[in-house]
Amino acid sequence: MTDMQEIAAPETRDDARRQLRRELRHRRRTLTARQQRQAAARLCQRLRRLPEVRHAKRVALYLPNDGEIDPTPLMRWLHGRNARVYLPVLRPLTHNALWFVHYHRGTPMVTNRFGIPEPCTRHGAHRARRRAPWTLDLILVPLVGFDDHGQRIGMGGGFYDRTLAFTRRPGPRPRLIGLAHDCQRVARLPVAPWDVPLDAIVSDNHVLRP
pLDDT in tens, 89-124: 998 877 788 999 999 989 999 999 999 999 998 898
Check: CB of residue 177 under 8 Å from CB of residue 201.
yes
Residues 6 or more apart in contact with residue 7 via CB below 8 angstroms? 1, 16, 19, 20, 23, 186
Three-state DSSP at 201 gives strand
Check: CB of residue 179 under 8 Å from CB of residue 205.
no
Report how far Cα 9 is from the mean position of its chain's Cα atoms. Answer: 25
Bigger pLDDT: 12 vs 60: 60
Residues 6 or more apart in contact with residue 81 via CB below 8 angstroms? 54
- Closest CA relative to residue 59, chosen from 101, 24, 108, 26: 101
Give pLDDT tens digits for 131-166. 999 999 999 999 999 998 888 898 877 899 999 999
Of the listed ranges 38-47, 102-111, 157-166, 189-198, the one predicted with least confidence: 189-198
| pTM, two decimal places | 0.89
Check: CB of residue 83 under 8 Å from CB of residue 136.
no
What single-letter amino acid sits at 113? R
Q: Distance between CA atoms of 86 and 60, rounded to whole angstroms? A: 4
Q: With the CA atoms of 179, 118, 108 and 59 taken in that order, what torsion angle do they form, in degrees rounded to the nearest 10?
A: 30
- Closest CA relative to residue 90, chosen from 77, 78, 99: 99
Segment 178-201 shows an average pLDDT of 89
What DSSP character marks residue 197? Answer: P
Query: How far, in Å, are 50, 89, 111, 177 from residue 208 at the CA level?
Result: 12, 27, 33, 10
Of the listed ranges 7-11, 164-168, 178-182, 192-196, the one predicted with least confidence: 7-11
pLDDT at 6 over 50: no
